[in-house]
C-alpha cells in the first residue's frame, strides 16, 4: 500500500498547523486506500541550508539532513499543510524542501493551506517548487481562512465545505500516487 506523508510545514511556537495537520491525518486515517503518516518538521532539527554541494549534485548534508531525506524517500506521496507568513511560504518549509532533490520526483502532492487569505500565497509558491522538483501537485486544494475556519482566529473549526474539499484532495493524491507508481518503480530499477 502506498505511504503518504502529511507534512506539517511550520515549527513556530503556538502554530495553528498542528490542529490542521491533525484534522488532515484524522480524515485520511479513515480511508483504507493508503497509509498516511504525520511528518512534523519540528521533529527534524534541520540547520539552515548551507551545503557546499547541493542535493541536486550529490550533496548529502549532515545526520539531520540524511534522516530527513530517508523519510521523504520512504514516502510515495504528500499532503503539505502550510501556513503563510507575509503572503509567503514559511522559511522552515522551504529550507526542508531544499535538503532533498531526487527523492521528491515522480510523487503526487496535495496542498492544504491556511492564513488570513487562506494561505494562497504560500500554496502558489509551493506549487511552483513542486513542478521544479518533479512532484505532481494535484489541482484540488484546501484553503482555510483564519476568519471563517478558526474560532477567535485560534481554534480550528473546519466547515463541512472544507471537510468535503479535503476528502476530494485526498482522493486525487491517492489516485495520482497510484498512477505514478510504475514511473517510480522504473526509476528505482534504473538506479539499481
* pLDDT at residue 82, as a whole number: 98
Checking if the pLDDT of 50 tops 90, the result is no
CA atoms within 13 A on the CB side of 48: 1
* Alpha-carbon gap, residue 165 to 143, rounded angstroms: 9
pLDDT digits (tens, 9 = 90+) for 80-137: 999 999 999 999 999 999 999 999 999 999 999 999 999 999 999 999 999 999 999 9
**Percentage helix, strand, coil, to 5, in the chain?**
45, 25, 30
**Domains parsed from the chain with CATH numbers:** 3-191 (3.40.50.360)
Amino acid at each position: 500500500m502506498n505511504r503518504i506523508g502529511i507534512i506539517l510545514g511550520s515549527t513556530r511556537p503556538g502554530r495553528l498547523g498542528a490542529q490542521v495537520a491533525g484534522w488532515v491525518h484524522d480524515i485520511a486515517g479513515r480511508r483504507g486506500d493508503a497509509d498516511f503518516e504525520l511528518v512534523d518538521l519540528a521533529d527534524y532539527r534541520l540547520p539552515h541550508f548551507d551545503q557546499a554541494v547541493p542535493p541536486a549534485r550529490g550533496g548529502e548534508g549532515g545526520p539531520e539532513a540524511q534522516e530527513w531525506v530517508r523519510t521523504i524517500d520512504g514516502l510515495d506521496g504528500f499532503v503539505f499543510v502550510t501556513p503563510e507568513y507575509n503572503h509567503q511560504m514559511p522559511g522552515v518549509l522551504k529550507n526542508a524542501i531544499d535538503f532533498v532533490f531526487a527523492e521528491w520526483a515522480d510523487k503526487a502532492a496535495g496542498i492544504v493551506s491556511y492564513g488570513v487569505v487562506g494561505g494562497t500565497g504560500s500554496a502558489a509558491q509551493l506549487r511552483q517548487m513542486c513542478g521544479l522538483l518533479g512532484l505532481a501537485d494535484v489541482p484540488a486544494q484546501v484553503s482555510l481562512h483564519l476568519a471563517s475556519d478558526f474560532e477567535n482566529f485560534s481554534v480550528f473549526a473546519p466547515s463541512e465545505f472544507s471537510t468535503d474539499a479535503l476528502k476530494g484532495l485526498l482522493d486525487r493524491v491517492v489516485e495520482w500516487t497510484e498512477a505514478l507508481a510504475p514511473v517510480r518503480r522504473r526509476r528505482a530499477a534504473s538506479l539499481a
